[in-house]
Amino acid sequence: TPAGAPLPPGGYRPPFAPHGPYAGSRPSPAPAPPPRPPKRPKERSALGAITFSLIFLALGLVAMLDLLDVFPVGAAGYFAAVLATIGLGLLVGTWFGRARWLIALGLVTAAALGVATVAESYDRIRGIDGNVTWAPTDRRDLAARYENNLGDAVLDLRAIDFDKQDVQVTVDVNLGNATVVVPPDVDVTTVADVNAGEATVFGRRTGGLNGRHWESTDAGADGPGGGKLRLYVHVNAGNLEVTR
């Protein structure tokens, strides 16, 4: 206020320098940092689509081998092909691409493979009590093992085509007679094990094996060729006959 000026009402005059005569100006606040630029969206990886396409390719290849009777393929074989393809896709994904959803698909496929394997293992054993005749009509219907606890058992394999095949079948009869009928052109190797009874294999008879194994090979009237069949036949008490 200029000197000699009248005082304001109340007799108070604001100070000349409230922060001191040498106080500087208040520093200006620091500028706010610029906002971060938005993240670029990740590009979608083609690994998942490629792996999914390869799954169908693997299924087609297995189905072709199955239809051509190159070797018998069950449900477990198809699931195994899918699981192998998924595993290959995950392995590639460790270096190139991203397809994490393949992990969930692989877990589901692995569970299905386990169920199919257990189901096929039960199907490969045909067991029954009482007189029975097994007569499979196709290579796929042929079990790896046939069992009968009490009663006569007949295994008729004449409808099976063993050409270019190498098959092994086990027949186990506890109490009763066992008869195995094979096609005329298949090469058969028979391993007979009869504890109490006689064994007749393609006209050759023997008795008193008492647990000893008797192995014989017969190529049929056409000679070697026509596929191979290896028979393991165990009879605890009863007679065994293998014929064409």
Check pLDDT > 90 for residue 14.
no
In a 10 Å sphere around its CB, with 0-12 CB exposed, 13-18 middle and 19+ buried, how is residue 211 labelled? exposed
In this structure, of 42-46, 84-88, 155-159, the range with the lowest mean pLDDT score is 42-46
Q: How far apart are CA 70 and CA 8, in angstroms?
A: 114
Tens of pLDDT, residues 196-231:
888 899 988 887 667 678 888 998 888 888 899 999
Tens of pLDDT, residues 51-65:
888 888 888 888 888
Q: Measuring CA to CA, which residue among 206, 211, 201 is closest to residue 235?
A: 211
Res 240: pLDDT: 92
* Residue 3 Cα distances to 8, 9, 21, 43, 54, angstroms: 13, 16, 19, 77, 98
Higher pLDDT pick, 24 / 198 = 198
Res 17: pLDDT: 58
Residue holding tokens 């009402």? 9
Q: At what angle do helices 47-67 and 75-93 cross, to 10 degrees?
A: 150
Amino acid of residue 149? N
